[in-house]
Homo-oligomer: A and B are copies of this chain.
Amino acid sequence: MHAYDAFLAGPEHSLNLARLQADFNREFDSPCPPVVVVARRLEVMLAGDQCFAIVAGNGHGLVGHALVTLRPTFYFDGPLAVLDELYVQPVLRGRGIGSALIDRLLQGLALRGSLELHINVDEDDTATRRFYEHHGFDNNLPGSDWQMLLYYQELPPTK
């Protein structure tokens, strides 16, 4: 068995990333655009400076990925980061691949001067919540027992 490396993805990884993403969404019954559409969008995104992806793989292919998006903030000079996606193929979980992806993306954020990383998690997804708490994430406001909540709304297409 080969060990898995975690490394920065380029636009050339878009199709493989899109396939992993489709597997991720299928596992959680979450809607996902077609793989070719996701791949095309990721190719554009990864060529820009508002996101980056870390992939885990060996010579035989990719087995996991993390997608980080960046947005500006007035609280510090670097970007505020969101870990929008983190996936490892089910049969390979529990081997530290997710942790390796996180370690590598934290390096990427340090390079970019980001001082804050967010992630949105479902309340009932206890395994995921434990994983992120283990990796230094907190759901409570500093100095309080109150949780921070994510609200969202879908917006109508304009045409």
Contact = CB atoms under 8 A, between A and B. Distances in A.
Interface of A: 18, 21, 32-33, 37-38, 41-42, 44-45, 48, 50-51, 69-77, 80, 82, 84, 106, 109-111, 113-124, 129, 132-133, 135-139, 141, 144, 146-158
Nearest to A125: B146
A158 to B, nearest CB: 5
Contacts of A110: 155-156, 158
Given A50-B50, A71-B50, A77-B41, A123 B149 contact: yes
Contacts of A48: 72
Contacts of A135: 153
A149 B122 contact: yes
